[in-house]
Amino acid sequence: MPVREAILRRLGAVLNGGGLEALERMSARDLKTLMLHVLGRRMDATTPLEALRAHERLAALRWAPIDARRLREIEAHAFDAASAFEAIALPPLVPLGATRALGGVSPDHVLATARGVEVLAPLAHAFPDVRFAFEVGRLEGLGYYTGPCLKVSARVGEARFPLADGGVLDWTARLLNDDKEIFVTSGTGLDIVARARPR
């Protein structure tokens, strides 16, 4: 990436050439301590107005446009539909590098923290009103899913809403070093469901 490379060259010059390599060689503990120190100094210098402007500028910091009660209602329907499965509340964080090691996701697309963590014919019979089809030209998820994948969309009028996505991953096989392990995952965007079917 030209922009990143230009910034790194500039930083390398500021740090007298070997500074970046020294940072890369630091232990995770020392690097975390350094980053927390620098971020703490910046936090001390942040004004309430600057914090408000950052909140307005960064999409990841904005609240959901859907009423929270509506989302809870849809969540309840989703849990009822999956009552045969165990419900697990996952933390929003994973060890730093996990998304890269398991999913091949670029660090540019991961929200990382300074503390070393990172913030898927019988059917046609069962659901006669639903259209099922194979999309052999699908490009989404290539390099992420390692086997068959799925997408669930709904059409409301002329608009089409992608509601859920999922597929086969090799995460558990790699974590357990067992090729017999098969991991199929899926996820639903409940806020999209709420927008697709308002009250």
What is the number of other CB atoms lying within 10 angstroms of the CB of residue 145?
21
pLDDT digits (tens, 9 = 90+) for 145-194: 888 888 888 877 787 878 888 888 888 888 888 888 888 888 887 777 77
**What whole-number distance in Å separates Cα of residue 190 and Cα of residue 196?**
10
Answer yes or no: do 80 and 161 share one domain.
Answer: yes
The model carries a pTM of 0.52
Answer yes or no: do 16 and 108 share one domain.
Answer: no
- Beta strands in 71-135, from DSSP E residues, in sequence order: 94-95, 117-118
Lowest mean pLDDT among 69-73, 74-78, 123-127: 123-127
Answer yes or no: do 68 and 40 share one domain.
Answer: no
Answer yes or no: do 120 and 69 share one domain.
Answer: yes
Quickly tell me which residue has 């089809």 as its tokens.
133
- The answer to whether the beta carbons of residues 118 and 99 sit under 8 Å apart is yes
Give the mean model confidence (pLDDT) for residues 110-138: 65
More confident residue, 135 or 153: 153
pLDDT digits (tens, 9 = 90+) for 81-100: 888 988 887 777 778 777 77
Count of structural domains within the chain: 2
Q: How many CA atoms lie within 13 A of 102 on its CB side?
A: 18
**142: β partners:** 145
Answer yes or no: do 27 and 107 share one domain.
Answer: no
Strand order across the 149-156 sheet: 149-156, 159-169, 183-188
In this prediction, residue 12 has a pLDDT band, given cuts at 50, 70 and 90, of: confident
- 70: region left, alpha or beta (phi > 0 left; psi from -120 to 50 alpha): alpha
pLDDT digits (tens, 9 = 90+) for 21-67: 787 788 888 888 888 888 888 888 888 888 888 888 877 777 777 78
Q: What's the pLDDT at 124?
A: 62
Q: What's the pLDDT at 195?
A: 72
Answer yes or no: do 151 and 131 share one domain.
Answer: yes
Answer yes or no: do 125 and 169 share one domain.
Answer: yes
Residue 143 has pLDDT above 50, yes or no: yes
Q: What share of the chain is helix, strand, coil (3-state, %, to 5)?
A: 45, 15, 40
Answer yes or no: do 135 and 168 share one domain.
Answer: yes
Q: What's the pLDDT at 120?
A: 35
Residue 107 has pLDDT above 80, yes or no: no
Domain boundary among 62, 79, 100: 62
In this prediction, residue 125 has a pLDDT band, given cuts at 50, 70 and 90, of: low
Answer yes or no: do 161 and 108 share one domain.
Answer: yes
Answer yes or no: do 7 and 86 share one domain.
Answer: no
Answer yes or no: do 29 and 73 share one domain.
Answer: no
More confident residue, 37 or 199: 37
Residue 128 has pLDDT above 60, yes or no: yes
**Cβ burial, residue 193 (10 Å; 0-12/13-18/19+):** buried
Task: Output DSSP code: residue 145.
Answer: B
Answer yes or no: do 75 and 34 share one domain.
Answer: no
Give the residue numbers spanning the domain of 106.
64-199
Q: What are phi and psi of 103, to 5 degrees?
A: -110, -5
Domain boundary among 37, 62, 87: 62
Domain boundary among 22, 37, 62: 62
**166: β partners:** 150, 186
